[in-house]
Amino acid sequence: MSTVIETKGLVKRYGRHVAVDGIDLSIGKGEVFGLLGPNGSGKTTTILLLLGLTEPTAGSVSVLGLDPLRQPLAVKRRVGYLPDQIGFYDALTARENLNYTARLAGLSGAEAGPRIEEALQRVRLGHAADRRVATFSRGMRQRLGLAEVLLKKADIAILDEPTSGLDPQSTQELLELIGALSREGMTIVLSSHLLAMVQTVCTRVALFSRGRIGLCGTVAELTSEVLGGTHVVEVEANGVDLPAVLADAPHVVGVAQLAPGRWRVDTDADARPEIARRVVSAGGALASMSIRQTTLDEVYVRFFEAEEGKQNEAA
């Protein structure tokens, strides 16, 4: 897998405020890479740095082997960008809007026509192509923005908060589209603070915190790194001391009491049969047991709790 985006020690300061504080990223071709973090943690600034829309204070960026500061036109020709809170010229129709960007991208009228048609069909806006964008809903605008990325036939698509403000159905459609594009070989970088959504489409994610990358890896790697397990089993049982019983059980990485008679067990596999057997053989009465996969939200919350802890210790 070849690397298409690489940053080394990227720093961006606005006056005294440090927006991005030493970011090292390496994104391979065909990946769906998620930049996750709370608002103001440096995701959008990182994206602008990748596109060469703002200059880094220190560090270097390489996109497709090109320097976005030195060769911005070459980079921007091959990278599509869907900004956060996208806007269009309301007085123009969807087709006219796309036609304008197609011309800016250097496409001739003859080339642009079929491509615009194809892109609009792809995002299912074919029926609204000649309507003024002023009448479009948020979801339609978002899809139109994606059509613009498709139109350029970009190698890399950078999507900033693509699903923010969308209803669940539009979100699902958008995610399906992103998945389809990725299968066609497009590299996709997306930022979000909606972790559950990212979990389903991203091959790798980076957790941002105060301008730094706290963690980077696949979702499974992150959950096992931060929480130790990939699954959560909730156990309700009476007459048993669960932590003692599960002390040396395989696959169990942690036990925490939620309430009297209720525990949360972190595991790195489905350990329900083992837990049940141990509870029963210890003479306990097993009332209920449920299992679910660990979500990124939990990783996120736990990770930032730990960060806060470290900060407080340092202070």
Partner 1 sequence: MRQREGSPFTGLSTVALKEAADHMTSARIHLVMLLVLLTAIGAVYAAIGQIRDTVSEDAFLFLRLFSTAREPLPSFVAFLGFLLPLVAIALGFDAINGEYNRRTMSRILSQPIYRDGLLTGKFLGGLLVIAICLLTLWLLVTGLGILLLGLPPSGEEVVRGLAFLLASFVYAGVWLAVALVFSTLFRSPATSALATLTVWLLFTVFWPILAPLIAGALAPVDIFDPTTAIARVEVEQVISRLSPNTLYGEMTLALLNPETRSLGLVFAHQLSQALIGAPLPVSESLMLVWPQLACMIAALVVLFTIAYVAFQRQEIRA
From the list 41-49, 183-191, 241-249, 298-306, the region that binds partner 1 by CB under 8 A is: 41-49
Q: Name the one range near partner 1 by CB under 8 A: 1-9, 29-37, 86-94, 183-191.
A: 86-94
What is the smallest separation between the CB atom of 26 and partner 1, expressed in angstroms? 22
Binding window for partner 1 (CB under 8 A); candidates: 48-56, 189-197, 246-254, 305-313: 48-56
Minimum distance of partner 1 from residue 39's CB (angstroms)? 13
Q: Does 45 help bind partner 1 (rule: CB under 8 A)?
A: yes
27-64 burial, b for 16+ CB within 10 Å, e for fewer? beebbbbbbbbeeebbbbbbbbbbbbebebeebebbbb
Candidate ranges 78-86, 162-170, 233-241, 269-277; the one touching partner 1 (CB under 8 A): 78-86
Interface with partner 1, residue 17, by CB under 8 A = no
In angstroms, give the least distance from the CB of 277 to partner 1.
Answer: 57
Whats the size of the chain, residue-wise? 315
Nearer to partner 1 by Cβ, of 11 and 291: the residue is 11
Exactly one of 28, 100, 193, 203 binds partner 1 (CB under 8 A); that residue is 100
Mark the segment that binds partner 1 (CB under 8 A) among 22-30, 88-96, 110-118, 236-244: 88-96
Q: Report the 10 Å Cβ neighbour count for 83.
A: 17
Q: Which is nearer to partner 1, 1 or 104 (CB)?
A: 104
Q: Which of 116, 165, 173, 123 is nearest to 146 (CA)?
A: 123
Q: Which of 25, 36, 115, 148 binds partner 1 (CB under 8 A)?
A: 148
Q: State which residue, 144 or 299, has the beta carbon closest to partner 1.
A: 144
79 binds partner 1 (CB under 8 A): yes
Of 9, 65, 90, 269, the one binding partner 1 (CB under 8 A) is 90
Among 28, 30, 72, 139, binds partner 1 (CB under 8 A): 72
103 interacts with partner 1 by CB under 8 A: yes
- CB of residue 70 vs partner 1: minimum separation in angstroms? 5
Q: Measured from the CB atom, is 157 or 178 closer to partner 1?
A: 157
**Residue ranges binding partner 1 (CB under 8 A):** 14, 44-45, 48, 51, 53-54, 69-74, 76-77, 79-81, 83, 85-91, 100-101, 103-106, 145, 148
